[in-house]
Amino acid sequence: MIEIRFHGRGGQGTVVASKILADAFFREGKYVQAFPQFGVERRGAPVTAFLRVGSQDTLFVRSFIHHPDHIVVLDPTLLQAVNVLEGLKEGGWVIVNTPDHPDTLEIPDSYRVATVDANQIAIKHKLGKPTAPIVNTAILGAFVRATGLLSLDALLEAIREGVPMDPENNAKAAQEAYESVILPQEVTP
């Protein structure tokens, strides 16, 4: 089983990102479980979402993911505000929405880090507002490229069929992020 934890803020599309990625994995024959964790807070408050991916014989436990294989960070300020790396398995991917190079982030060497400027990609494709871009589909494009766990085609299909507003620009954002994600030097695309 693969377990993925998403960290974002209300309004960035964190919950929708977990659902779209679940749909993309499902399209490739995987069994999935996706669910969010958030309180009564509104836009800007921390949001966590969870995704489990397995096979037909996988037993899915309905609980939070405490030891994820990979982490997706939609808001880089959460790297300092919340312990997003808590429980992350050694060698796991940390995909971060930031224009910074992975080597500049204060993330231990026991993890693989990829970065993408999902904010600028979302703004370019008119997803959300310039002051509050919706970065979920862009970060998913980066996730697919970095991890290699599923095909870009499955993701784009899931976006086109599952995103409620402007699916074509969301698909373009995912494609652009897939092509522009910054990977660590030891990883070959």
- Determine the Cα–Cα distance for residues 30 and 166; give it in Å rounded to an integer: 26
pLDDT of residue 160: 97
Q: Which tens digit of pLDDT belongs to each residue from 87-111?
A: 999 999 999 999 999 999 999 999 9
2-180 fold: Pyruvate-ferredoxin Oxidoreductase; domain 3 (3.40.920)
Residue-level pLDDT at 23: 97
Let me know: does 90 contact 149? Beta carbons within 8 Å: no
C-alpha to C-alpha distance for 89 and 83, rounded to whole angstroms? 14
Measure the CA–CA gap between 11 and 21, rounded to whole angstroms. 18
**Positions of the chain with pLDDT under 50:** 187-189
Return the beta strands (E) in 2-125 as ranges: 2-9, 31-37, 46-54, 70-73, 93-97, 112-116
pTM beyond 0.85, yes or no = yes
The sheet that has 112-116: what strands, in order across it? 31-37, 46-54, 2-9, 70-73, 93-97, 112-116
Largest CA distance in the chain: 44
Q: What pLDDT is stored for residue 55 in this prediction?
A: 86
- To which residue do tokens 């992020």 refer? 177
